[in-house]
Homo-oligomer: A and B are copies of this chain.
Amino acid sequence: MRGLWLEAMRLAFRDDLAGPPLADGEGVVRVHLAGICGTDLELRRGYHAFTGVPGHEFVGIVEEAPSAPEWIGRRVVGEINAACGTCATCRAGRRTHCPARTVLGIRGRAGAFAERLALPLLNLHEVPAAVSDEEAVFTEPLAAALQIQAQVPLRADQRVLVLGAGRLGTLVARTLARTGAQVRVAARLAPRRDQLRAAGVDAVAPEEVLAGSADVVVDCTGHPEGFARARAAVRARGTIVLKSTYAGEAPVNLSSVVVDEITLVGSRCGAFAPALELLAARAVPVRDLVQARYPLARGTDAFAEAARPGA
């Protein structure tokens, strides 16, 4: 089949890929659309070793489902962590952290930038008819944004600062605004700030953020410098939510985290059902986040455009 192939930090289009292997309880999905995420760009930069088809945000149609043929023909999105289901972590209800898990397009499982992918049927969610393909492809990042609220209780009197106005930062700001909290976005680029303000979101340049001015800071910058900025912006006893994954380590003054009693919360994937509900209710707009569409054969061009600052 045709698809993108990542190997040793090089991405290429190929037309000689084997179809995805199908394990018990899994289904094959023909991909309609797939989205490029910051994690995909970081994977290509060597964030961690992955050889294979990248991509983990998709919408498509189930083509094969040997164990449950009723799935065939359904339009679906899919949770990306494929867990063993039997280990202590899975039994404790933390399936997305199963140590033996594969992760679509990230770890041990061919991903969505190909004609077909395979996932456990347990991971699939049928897309409501009211949700278009272009919207459905945002289910995974929207779920990741919603995960913040599942981890950190937010009140209306809290000042939340979102660092980074890329796709994830925008989705985080839009979902957090629904909690009633006072959400502000720090965006490097002036046109991005103008866009945010036009949409009613409070936006500032990073250098305008006052030290200690936020109760909660969410780092969606995708860069190690994001942490230092978050640390400066959060008040004593405040919370920093970490959403970015990137290669390498950041130097952290842990003693200052102790002295100021800061809480850091790592936050990754979220549940799909609430995200699909928001999309079906048109409660969080996503279509304006599509910058461009490329056919699969021009996937490397799409990566180049996505990696451009301000994309």
> A interface vs B, CB < 8 Å?
47, 89, 94, 97, 99, 151, 212, 224, 227, 235-237, 242-255, 257-268
Contacts and interface: CB of A to CB of B under 8 A. Distances in A.
Contacts of A258: 242-245, 266-268
Q: Select the residue from A99, A236, A244, A266 with max chain B CB neighbours within 10 A.
A: A266
18 contacts: A47-B255, A97-B237, A97-B260, A151-B263, A242-B257, A242-B258, A243-B258, A249-B251, A249-B253, A250-B252, A251-B251, A252-B254, A258-B267, A260-B266, A261-B265, A261-B266, A261-B268, A263-B264
A212 B251 CA distance: 23
Contacts of A264: 257, 263-265
Contacts of A246: 255
A259 B245 CA distance: 8
Q: Select the residue from A236, A237, A255 with max chain B CB neighbours within 10 A.
A: A255
Contacts of A94: 236-237
Contacts of A257: 242, 264, 266
Contacts of A254: 224, 227, 242, 244, 249-250, 252, 266
A247 B253 CA distance: 9
A247 to B, nearest CB: 8
A230 to B, nearest CB: 10
A262 B266 contact: yes
A241 to B, nearest CB: 9
A311 to B, nearest CB: 21
A259 B96 CA distance: 10
A261 B151 contact: yes
A204 B255 CA distance: 26
A167 to B, nearest CB: 17
Contacts of A252: 249-252, 254
A213 B253 CA distance: 26
Contacts of A99: 212, 236
Contacts of A212: 99
A47 to B, nearest CB: 7
A259 B255 contact: no
A255 B265 contact: no
B266 A235 contact: no
Given A236-B89, A250-B252, A250-B254, A263 B260 contact: no
A15 B265 CA distance: 49
A237 B81 CA distance: 15
A109 to B, nearest CB: 15
A264 B253 CA distance: 13
Nearest to A89: B236
A89 B235 contact: yes
A253 B252 CA distance: 9
